[in-house]
Amino acid sequence: MTSLALDRPQTAASTVTTEQLHWLMDAVRRNRFIPAPEPENIFVGDGDFRAIGAEFLGHLVRFGKLQPHHRVLDVGCGIGRLAAPLTQYLDDGASYLGLDPARDGIAWCQKAITPVYPSFRFRHIDVAHTLYNPQGLLRGASLVLPLGDRSVDFALLVSVVTHLPPDEVITYSRELSRVLTPGGTVFMTCFTIPSDGVPKTVTDPRCNFLRIDDGPSWTGRQDDPLGMIAYDEGWLEARLAEAGFECEPCRRGSWRGTEAAHYQDIIVARRRSGRA
């Protein structure tokens, strides 16, 4: 697989104020010139395309400390829900690469986003997945990301590990450790199950998770287990730590039936210096 370089000049970190971020999020919600697919073509996620993109832009900046000059890798970019608002945040020295096994999403992004924002690139990876790419030729557990070592500052996995089995989570963690620069960030959304089981406060019927065999994973879909995956609390952080990351405390989401600013749980991890 050919490696891609996400080149950029070295730029000092900048600080975005809360007021500036709120203004930008509101502008993204209202800006009808930002590329957006027709509603009938949105095959992943739910809700308003621009509104959810604006919401996640806020999470990336507030929780992940995303900077405008960062080289960004979006694993599981789908149909550009996060790429679209990032076109309004990343500066001319930044770069973005979106990867996804769903060809239709990548094709739309290449047609609608890249011609207007050339630093935003999208690439199909032919990883097999029962839900998104059943005829894929590559096994997720043997994936090699098409990027050079230490070539990325910030990696997103939004609603990605919610569809991955444990062996693939381990592979992705190792590959992210390889491509991220020391101090680089992983921003991951997920469902994590406490040691005493699914919280009794859960009201969303999709989140009645059941454990898969004797492993660390749970599923909310018996018909297609990879359709909605959760993990034991601490398991994802442990795999990231093994790969060379230091994790912040998990931010618990509102899926649990408790108040939160985001639906899924959020894990933010920083790449340690040196080898994993």
> What pLDDT, on the 0 to 100 scale, is given for residue 166?
97
CA distance 185 to 154: 5
> What pLDDT, on the 0 to 100 scale, is given for residue 1?
38
Ramachandran bin of 180, using left for φ above 0, alpha for ψ from -120 to 50, beta for the remaining angles:
beta
End-to-end CA distance of the chain: 23
pLDDT digits (tens, 9 = 90+) for 247-256: 999 999 999 9
| CA distances for 274 relative to 96, 148, 240, 271, angstroms | 25, 16, 15, 9
- Which ranges of 63-132 would DSSP assign to H, the alpha helix? 83-86, 103-112
Beta-ladder partners of 210: 219
> What pLDDT, on the 0 to 100 scale, is given for residue 23?
84
pLDDT digits (tens, 9 = 90+) for 105-139: 999 999 999 999 999 999 999 998 988 889 988 89
Overall CATH class of domain 18-271: alpha beta
Give me 86's structure tokens. 């990032």
CA distance 110 to 3: 18
CA distance 191 to 211: 13
> What pLDDT, on the 0 to 100 scale, is given for residue 3?
44
> What pLDDT, on the 0 to 100 scale, is given for residue 151?
98
CA distance 182 to 192: 27
> What pLDDT, on the 0 to 100 scale, is given for residue 24?
85
Residues listed for the chain = 276
Residues of the chain with pLDDT under 50: 1-5, 7-13
> What pLDDT, on the 0 to 100 scale, is given for residue 33?
73
> What pLDDT, on the 0 to 100 scale, is given for residue 275?
63
Q: Which residues contact 83 (CB under 8 A, 6 or more apart)?
A: 74, 77, 96, 98, 109, 113, 120, 122
> What pLDDT, on the 0 to 100 scale, is given for residue 7?
47
Q: Do residues 63 and 158 touch, judged by C-beta distance below 8 A?
A: no
Find the farthest-apart pair of alpha carbons in the chain and give their distance in angstroms, rounded.
50
Give me 253's structure tokens. 């989401």
- The residue with tokens 């969303």 is 204
Q: pTM for the complete prediction? A: 0.89
Q: Do residues 160 and 80 touch, judged by C-beta distance below 8 A?
A: no
Is 76 in a helix, a strand, or coil?
coil
